[in-house]
Amino acid sequence: MRTCTKAGKLYDTVYDHDTPREACGLFGVYAPGEDVARLTYFGLFALQHRGQESAGIAVSDGARIRAYKDLGLVTRVFTEPVLQSLQGYIAVGHTRYSTTGSSTLRNVQPITCPTEHGNIAVAHNGNLVNAHVLRAQLEAIGEQFETTNDSEVIVRLIARALDEGADIVSAIRQMMRQVEGAYSLAILTPTQLIGVRDPFGVRPLCLGKLGDAWVLASETCALPPIGAEYVRDVMPGEIVVIDERGLHSYEGLPSEREALCMFELIYFARPDSHLYGRLLYEVRRRMGQILAREHPADADLVIPVPDSGIPAAVGYATESGIPYGDGLIKNRYAPRTFIQPDQRLREQSVRLKLTPLREVIAGKRLVVVDDSIVRGTTTRQIVRLLFEAGAREVHMRITAPPIRFPCHYGIDMATQRELVAAHHTVEDVRQQIGATSLGYLSIEGLLEAAGQPRNRFCLACFNGEYPIPIPDDVELVKEIFEQPQSSLSVRADVPLTADV
């Protein structure tokens, strides 16, 4: 039996499920003579917004791959002694928000796996839509899975191809021909760093240069902290291999069309990142300007819901001529908790994160700019909070169009029955959240702000047009693979540290 990872303890976590949850963050570096574990640490720290459940780093010294991973933030997982123990010249790292598979130690990435012709470590951002079919096929021929995430399907497909004598590029191509869905990958072999992007390019992945060294990252914002410069994006369907001879590009699977997730532009990616060559702060500011034209309001003050609403609120204020101000202060240490709250605190979770400035908003007619409404519960709490603080009117303005369909490509959003806009008109939603008025940015306005044609994006959560077909034989839920792991060697009291 091939042992790809070990199991660990279960952490119960509580999240605010009324906002789209982040995709994962990938980072990789090929840098002989550099402290690659430390570089990866700083890269993952810059990508922490993409996932806060767990973090891991795998390092190769040319012969052996060593990995360390645990639940928690990057700064908690990687102490100085841990970083010093990860010696080598190639590394991949991962920071996770789970979209398939629960938040347990066994599911932390990168997933490390021995093969007959070289060991590998794989970090995955995205979500497969046919993982349940592939996993069943692999189990039928003897593979025993040790995690409950879809990423292990990718790892085992590559490993089997390597065991059968394929080289690494051929093995990845074989995997790409079998899997369906969204995947950006950072792969480590003893002597290579490899980046892979699915043929639709749903999740971002870019290349950077640090002197003679090469860097892979989910977003460009991870490059400046280590002194690297952006070179280009990994193209949809491309495999890039970095080794002692430099960078080599291969076609993994032909790209039919691009389908970058629009929520990367609206919310997920950091505002100082670039996508399609545009600074996202400016894209979001433009969203706010167009929103002001589409949904004007007679108001005294424009305020954002921090932090994601700030650029768009600036744009709305500029276009409308209404003054901009800060009406809500965010507690940056309260977005997630490992403490189980009681029901009263669940219902008032917004109060743990946002404090209204009464002196600023009392008696004012407010335009409040936010990125999205999913279930509507958080927005309702924000509106109530502002009215309780003395606001005279609250006009909600949202930079995402109404979310009517679930995401199957790597966003833990909600099922369709939980999406408030899927079953209610805009006026119904306005009444439910208690706002004076409600306006969503249109899809056309969103595309205008992005400055790119419609066929370069996935807009499925808005219009139900999925670029990658979704199977109708199973409900794709996060816990699809949850089952007893009787065959695992459980280490319940320590993080995962392993030589492969």
**Exposure class string for 157-174: b at 16+ Cβ within 10 A, else e:** bbbbbbeeebebbebbbb
Q: How many whole angstroms separate alpha carbon 367 and alpha carbon 313?
A: 9
Alpha helices, DSSP H only, in 196-354? 262-263, 280-294, 310-320, 343-347, 349-353
What value does the mean pLDDT take over residues 319-324? 98
In a shared domain, residues 252 and 395: no
Is position 24 annotated as part of the catalytic site? yes
Residue among 236, 205, 154 nearest 468 (CA): 236
In a shared domain, residues 247 and 395: no
Q: Is residue 218 part of a domain?
A: yes
pLDDT of residue 401: 98
Q: Is residue 138 part of a domain?
A: yes
Count other C-beta atoms under 10 Å from residue 184's C-beta.
Answer: 26
Answer whether 261's CB lies under 8 Å from 126's CB.
no
- pLDDT over 70 at 32, yes or no: yes
What value does the mean pLDDT take over residues 36-57? 96
Q: Which residues pair with 16 in a beta bridge?
A: none
Contacts of 198 (CB under 8 A, 6+ apart): 126, 176, 181, 182, 183, 184, 236, 237, 253
Answer whether 38's CB lies under 8 Å from 82's CB.
no
Residues 71-87 have pLDDT tens digits of 999 999 999 999 999 99
In a shared domain, residues 437 and 494: no
Q: Is residue 1 part of a domain?
A: no
Q: Is residue 264 part of a domain?
A: no
In a shared domain, residues 80 and 138: yes
What value does the mean pLDDT take over residues 217-236? 98
pLDDT category, 348, cuts 50, 70, 90?
Answer: low
- Amino acid, single-letter form, for residue 255: S
Annotated catalytic residue, options 24, 221, 261, 407: 24
DSSP state of 324: B
In a shared domain, residues 357 and 404: yes
Mean pLDDT estimate for the chain: 88
In a shared domain, residues 310 and 432: yes
pLDDT of residue 8: 34
Q: What CATH code is carried by the domain that includes residue 96?
A: 3.60.20.10
Q: Find the helix or strand (DSSP H, E) in which 175 lies.
A: helix 168-178
Domains: count for the chain = 2
Q: Find the helix or strand (DSSP H, E) in which 428 lies.
A: helix 426-433
- pLDDT over 70 at 103, yes or no: no
In a shared domain, residues 293 and 254: no
Q: Is residue 64 part of a domain?
A: yes
Helix count (H) and strand count (E) of the chain?
A: 17, 24
Q: Is residue 457 part of a domain?
A: no
In a shared domain, residues 354 and 439: yes
Range list of β-strands (E), 72-116:
90-96, 111-113
Residue among 60, 78, 80, 79 nearest 69 (CA): 78
Q: How many whole angstroms separate alpha carbon 301 and alpha carbon 361?
A: 8
Q: How many whole angstroms separate alpha carbon 468 and alpha carbon 181?
A: 6
Q: How many whole angstroms separate alpha carbon 332 and alpha carbon 48?
A: 13
What value does the mean pLDDT take over residues 463-477? 79
Q: In which region does residue 287 sit, left (phi positive, over 0), alpha (psi from -120 to 50) or beta (all else)?
A: alpha
pLDDT of residue 79: 96
Residues 271-311 have pLDDT tens digits of 999 999 999 999 999 999 999 999 999 999 999 999 999 99
Which segment of 70-74, 336-340, 435-439 scores lowest on mean pLDDT?
336-340
Q: What CATH code is carried by the domain that includes residue 342?
A: 3.40.50.2020
Residue among 358, 302, 357 nearest 330 (CA): 357
pLDDT of residue 288: 98
Q: How many whole angstroms separate alpha carbon 335 and alpha carbon 316?
A: 26
In a shared domain, residues 74 and 142: yes
DSSP string, 404-423: -S---SS-B---GGG-HHHH
Residues 239-255 have pLDDT tens digits of 999 999 999 999 999 98
In a shared domain, residues 344 and 216: no
pLDDT of residue 343: 47
Q: How many whole angstroms separate alpha carbon 53 and alpha carbon 70?
A: 9
pLDDT of residue 164: 94
Q: How many whole angstroms separate alpha carbon 152 and alpha carbon 122?
A: 9
Q: Provide the terminal-to-terminal Cα distance of the chain, rounded to the nearest Å.
A: 14
Q: Which of 452, 467, 487 is the last residue of a domain?
A: 452
pLDDT category, 474, cuts 50, 70, 90?
Answer: low
Q: How many whole angstroms separate alpha carbon 37 and alpha carbon 225?
A: 14
Residue matched to tokens 């693979």: 481
In a shared domain, residues 152 and 299: no
What value does the mean pLDDT take over residues 324-351? 68
In a shared domain, residues 316 and 400: yes
Q: Is residue 198 part of a domain?
A: yes
- Residue 237's domain spans which residues? 25-259+479-499
Contacts of 66 (CB under 8 A, 6+ apart): 58, 59, 60, 85, 86, 87, 88, 497, 498, 499, 500
pLDDT category, 334, cuts 50, 70, 90?
Answer: low
Q: Is residue 150 part of a domain?
A: yes
